[in-house]
Amino acid sequence: MKASLDRKNILLGVCGSIAAYKTAMLCRLLVKAGANVQVVMTQAATSFITPLTLSTLSKRKVITQFADSETAVWNNHVDLGLWADAMVIAPATGNTLAKLANGLCDDVLGASYLSARCPVFFAPAMDLDMWQHPATQANIQKLQSYKNQIIPVGVGELASGLSGPGRMAEPEDIVTYLAQFFRQQIHKQPFKGMSVLITAGPTYEAIDPVRFIGNRSSGKMGIALAEAAKEYGAEVELILGPTHLRPQVAGINVTPVQSAGEMFEATVPKFAKADIAILAAAVADFTPMQTSTSKIKKKGDDEGLNIPLGRTKDILATLGKQKQSHQKLIGFALETDNEVSNAKGKLTRKNLDFIVLNSLKDKGAGFKHNTNKITILDKYDNQQAYELKSKAEVARDILNYLVGLMMKT
Ligand code: CTP
């Protein structure tokens, strides 16, 4: 997993306070931690620290106005607001706190703040009495009520010669605060920015327009995995065999399919863009060699019917052959006998990172149930058995196992 500030887009707002000299160090530390830093300054800030200093440190042109006075190019604050993973206003003066608490946007910093969809952090800096004034404290409360985060001020000697609270937090502490925030985000949404491909449900292999060969899979386990992956922050593609069930979490892309052939065609091309693929579908291994276009009629009183069956293409094995080193591939095995050795065989044969074993011998496990009991076997020879749980909990166990594996490798 990436270090928490690596490649994060940070919009660094600078206001007019003597503490702005510390912003140079803050900018440097953020860049050193791997962040992309775009500095936005108020006019007053430019009297305390030059845009040249901050553009040199951030390796980007500093923005001080709505339009660049030399090139007449518009500095789009809406784009800035959308680009940022976090906005940090350091130092945040009493004046800017008051303006932003009330939604004033007469400069590019204020307009970027109002356009930002990302979390916003304020590192206030001002003199003791200004900081303690009820008006400032009311503004701070108002900003917090809008879900902004206030990085606590330091206590000590102030530029005025007074001593007390009001010092801007030290640059190292601001970086630690941000890094911690992003670490928590990773913890809550470990798959943010990743794409997860999931197959679920049964497949129906048509014999004629009314009959098919199918299986008893409901799709519940795969749907629970899709829902959990979405909640973990992933972009989710769910290739879903014939079931009336649908994910209850918004934003999952569902491709309904009927047969193993259709599932193959829908899944394989999507794999190249996926970071993770979890194939939970119960795909038919055999399909009628020919599908009759009209309903097959009975012949004679006791004449049976032979349907020649051919093998379907193995989707999981195909993905196993195409798998790149950055991709993770997970399969399922539903076994009745020699469970562990059969599952291990599939794990190796299909080039999987791990396999989820269900035993039909376990009560409450497998098809149709709302519960499941699984054992995970990974390619490093680890084996972990879980209790009988709801499929939603099992889905989280599977994804948590994957997170653990991704941290290690
Ligand atoms: N699978 C697949 N495409 C197929 C068949 C299976 O993607 N045509 C996937 C399933 O989604 C599951 C795993 O492969 O993740 C199951 O492996 P498989 O060898 O098919 O298990 P069984 O059907 O139980 O086969 P066997 O007859 O070998 O027990």
75 is known as an active-site residue: no
Which of 285, 322, 377 is the best mutation target for the ligand 1 pocket, counting ligand atoms within 8 Å of the beta carbon and taking the most? 285
pLDDT score recorded for residue 402: 96
Q: Locate 220 and state its tokens.
A: 């519940």
225 in ligand 1 pocket by Cβ < 6 Å? no
Which residue has its alpha carbon closest to ligand 1 atom 27? 285
- Distance (angstroms) between ligand 1 centre and the Cα of 340 equals 15
How many C-alpha atoms does 385 have within 13 Å on its Cβ side?
6
- Distance (angstroms) between ligand 1 centre and the Cα of 283 equals 6
Atom nearest to 312 CA in ligand 1: 8
Q: 3-class SS at 25?
A: helix
Q: Which of 376, 371, 375 is nearest to 389 (CA)?
A: 371
Atom nearest to 331 CA in ligand 1: 15
Long-range contacts of 69-75 (CB under 8 A, 24+ apart): 75/108
Do 99 and 131 meet the contact criterion of CB atoms below 8 Å apart?
A: no
Domains in the chain with CATH codes: 2-188 (3.40.50.1950), 195-285+309-408 (3.40.50.10300)
Q: 3-class SS at 113?
A: helix
Atom nearest to 349 CA in ligand 1: 19
Per residue in 328-378, pLDDT tens? 999 999 988 899 999 999 999 999 999 999 877 777 776 768 889 999 999
Q: What is the pLDDT along the chain (409 residues), one digit of tens a residue?
A: 346 899 999 999 999 999 999 999 999 999 999 999 999 999 999 999 999 999 999 999 999 999 887 777 788 888 898 899 999 999 999 999 999 999 999 999 999 999 999 999 999 999 999 999 999 999 999 999 999 999 999 999 888 888 889 999 999 999 999 999 998 888 888 999 999 999 999 999 999 999 999 999 999 999 999 999 999 999 999 999 999 999 999 999 999 999 999 999 999 999 999 999 999 999 999 999 999 999 999 988 888 999 999 999 999 999 999 999 999 999 999 988 899 999 999 999 999 999 999 877 777 776 768 889 999 999 999 999 999 999 999 999 999 999 999 987 7
Which of 279, 311, 351 is the best mutation target for the ligand 1 pocket, counting ligand atoms within 8 Å of the beta carbon and taking the most? 279
> Which residues, including other chains, have CB under 8 Å from residue 93's CB and lie 6 or more apart?
15, 16, 17, 44, 124, 125, 126
pLDDT score recorded for residue 137: 97
pLDDT score recorded for residue 1: 38
283 in ligand 1 pocket by Cβ < 6 Å? yes
239 in ligand 1 pocket by Cβ < 6 Å? no
314 in ligand 1 pocket by Cβ < 6 Å? yes
40 in ligand 1 pocket by Cβ < 6 Å? no
329 in ligand 1 pocket by Cβ < 6 Å? no
